[in-house]
Amino acid sequence: MLPAVARGHRGWFHPCARLSVRMSSTGIDRKGILAERVAVVTGSTSGIGFAIARRLAQDGAHVVISSRKQQNVDRAAAQLQREGLSVAGIVCHVGKAEDRERLVATVRGQALEHCGGIDFLVCCAGVNPLVGSTLGTSEQIWDKILNVNVKSPALLLSQLLPYMEKRKGAVTLVSSVAAYFPRMELGVYNVSKTALLALTRTLALELAPKDIRVNCLVPGVIKTDFSKVLHGNESLLKYLREYLQMQRIGEPEDCAGVVSFLCSPDASYITGENIAVAGFSSRL
């Protein structure tokens, strides 16, 4: 019995998911470019993580969604299952060791039994208490932000790794353009998202011998609950629209296809990269 789990059809995974039509450049795959692969996406019951989970499932993967609150997990899993996608959900606050352990134990059991292992990890969960200046931030807030944003992806990956080996899998971390262009009011968040760029390159180096690629999605301002202080502010919006080359705020779906690509065989020689999805060129 797995009390924190929202189950899919026929146990955990739905073998006959409805698929999107993107095909691999390496050959036509009618089952979906990520068919028979297993993806774990953290922070995936709303916003960017939810859009990524949906897209990976549309591209054929069996997807495990997760977040802190059971009702969010249940709602998101039910919505994606209604769309005919192979999705299961489990509660996991990424900053809590016991939640990560439960996620790993549950996914391991199901994924090994039904699919032989785990292929993809997408670490989307992030925290951003608006704390203002870095030097004015308490040790408790420093610990909270670094724990959730930086430590948890590495710790979760280290626990999943034994089940990801020999599958040519991929890891995607989620940073922010705040890593390139820090904003005063975001303080330690800027630091945490910059650390993720270093974590990406370090993990890419460490995992290349295992044929596991590690890349980083770098979103700009994307319309979600997380960023509503930005897109709810009309004068800031006006400024942003002028500043953004695309002259619009991004949608979560703008981020989703990139992550599916990074997981796919089309990205088989791409690792250690940061890919900005920001509506402007982030190259310095």
Among 226, 253, 270, 272, binds ligand NAP (CB under 6 A): 226
User: With binding defined as CB under 6 A, does residue 279 bind ligand NAP?
Assistant: no
Based on the shown chain and the rule CB under 6 A, indicate whether residue 219 belongs to the binding site for ligand NAP.
yes
Cα 193 from Cα 186, distance rounded (Å) = 10
Write the DSSP string, the chain: --TTEE--SSSS--TT-------BTTB--TT-TTTT-EEEEES-SSHHHHHHHHHHHHTT-EEEEEES-HHHHHHHHHHHHHTT--EEEEE--TT-HHHHHHHHHHHHHHHHHHHSS--EEEE----------STT--HHHHHHHHIIIIIHHHHHHHHHGGGTTTS--EEEEE--GGGTS--GGGHHHHHHHHHHHHHHHHHHHHHGGGT-EEEEEEE-SB-SGGGHHHHT-HHHHHHHHHHSTT-S-B-HHHHHHHHHHHHSGGGTT--S-EEEESSS----
Query: Could you tell me the smallest distance in angstroms from the CB atom of residue 225 to ligand NAP?
Result: 4
Q: How far apart are CB 159 and ligand NAP at their closest, in Å? A: 15
Q: Which of 56, 85, 107, 125 binds ligand NAP (CB under 6 A)?
A: 125
Q: Does 68 bind ligand NAP (CB under 6 A)?
A: yes
Which residue number, 47 or 187, has a Cβ lying nearer to ligand NAP?
A: 47
Query: In the complex with ligand NAP, which residue's Cβ is closer, 102 or 167?
Result: 102
Q: Least distance in Å: CB of 199 to ligand NAP?
A: 13
Distance (Å, rounded) from C-alpha 186 to C-alpha 152? Answer: 20
- Nearest Cα residue to 126 out of 158, 156, 148: 148
- The residue (of 60 and 252) whose beta carbon lies closer to ligand NAP is 252
Residue 189 a catalytic site member: yes
Q: Which of 22, 62, 93, 167 binds ligand NAP (CB under 6 A)?
A: 93
**In this chain, which stretch among 14-22, 158-166, 201-209, 214-222 interacts with ligand NAP, using CB under 6 A?**
214-222
Q: From the candidates 180, 189, 239, 243, which is the catalytic residue?
A: 189
Using CB under 6 A as the binding rule, whether residue 47 contacts ligand NAP is answered as yes
- Amino acid code (one letter) for 266: D
Please, which residue, 33 or 150, has the CB nearer to ligand NAP?
A: 150
Stretch that binds ligand NAP, among 62-70, 77-85, 131-139, 162-170 (CB under 6 A): 62-70
Stretch that binds ligand NAP, among 18-26, 47-55, 100-108, 111-119 (CB under 6 A): 47-55
Asked if 126 is part of the footprint of ligand NAP (rule: CB under 6 A), the reply reads yes
Note whether 95 binds ligand NAP by CB under 6 A.
yes
In sequence order, the 6+-apart residues with CB closer than 8 A to the CB of 194 are 175, 179, 182
Among 172, 176, 215, 260, which residue interacts with ligand NAP (rule: CB under 6 A)?
176
What is the distance of C-alpha 154 from the center of its chain? Answer: 13
**Which sequence positions are flagged as catalytic?**
189
* Residues at the contact surface with ligand NAP, assessed by CB under 6 A: 42-49, 67-69, 72, 92-95, 124-128, 148, 174, 176, 219, 221-222, 224-227
